[in-house]
Amino acid sequence: MEIENIEKNIESSIGKVVCEAIIPDVPLKSLEEIEKSIQKKFRSELWSPFIHALKEFSMINDGDKIAVAISGGKDSLLLAKLFQELKRASKTKFEVVFISMNPGFNEENLKRLEKNLQYLNIPGEIYPDNVFQIAEKIAKDYPCYMCAKMRRGSLYSKATALGCNKLALGHHFDDVVETTLMSMFYMAKFETMLPKLKADNFDMELIRPLYYVEEENIKKWVRTNGLSPMNCGCTVAAGKTSSKRKETKELLDLLVKNNPNIKKSIMQSAKNVNLEKIVGWKNKGEYFSYLDNM
């Protein structure tokens, strides 16, 4: 695969879920039990890191109207429930709406999304946008990059139409760590997934409130409560592109066996860059060398 295509697929995988079925440990629990589990059983694993990210990166302020994007997977369903809990508990005056794009899901996935939203009492608006079909037509061999770009643009447009100034996505701790490694392995540069950033073409700010929430804890929450989130909604890319994210996940799983804290070290490295020991770096499109200061 050419470098350009590798880079495009890595960039697209920032918003792409590695397909993995989650088998519930128990029958589906009541809505009350599911909601209580966030603050009780999973307080330290889910609620506390969620609040930590919101505070550290000043993600929510008075007057904000936030669109929470729900893909139908485990991460976005949890994100929606966390925001509902936050709305009840927070003194910050903000509005929240839930949006879910149907990019061309098959009937089974669409019904599962609708069923989960209804059962979890998430008033999400499902709106159609034939992203899958268009992405496949435009980029038949490598549709993921185009699909991710179009989906992000669609969510920004919908959020803007609803009067929102922020869009919340369900990227979690492991997504950040994997993206950091993938940038080094496949793009020959060091960069990471930011917790908050300004949109390029919209008057909108993107936030990632699950920045410190580990994926395994999300899976535990899903299994413990008997939930069945959408596994993988993509109807286009199966078999067309290799998953660099999946390869990176597998490598990390091996490394964690010998060093359980290695993911946290990778995350911390992106917050502890020593420019005195960096050969070169880029800032606002301009390249710099350590030799510039010698």
Write out pLDDT tens, residues 280-289. 999 989 999 9
φ, ψ for residue 125, nearest 5 deg: -90, 115
pLDDT at 102 over 80: yes
Q: Is the Cβ–Cβ distance between 80 and 121 less than 8 Å? A: no
pLDDT at 169: 96
CA–CA distances in Å: residue 22 to residues 6, 101, 184, 237: 29, 22, 30, 21
**pLDDT for res 21:** 66
pTM for the complete prediction? 0.89
* Phi and psi based region of residue 237 (left: phi greater than 0; alpha: psi -120 to 50; beta: remaining): alpha
What is the predicted pLDDT for the residue at 20? 63
pLDDT of residue 149: 78
pLDDT in tens, 132-191: 766 666 666 666 666 777 888 889 999 999 999 999 999 999 999 999 999 999 899 999
- Between 37 and 237, the more confident residue is 37
| Domains and their CATH numbers in the chain | 22-293 (3.40.50.620)
- Within 10 angstroms of residue 265's Cβ, the number of other Cβ atoms is 11
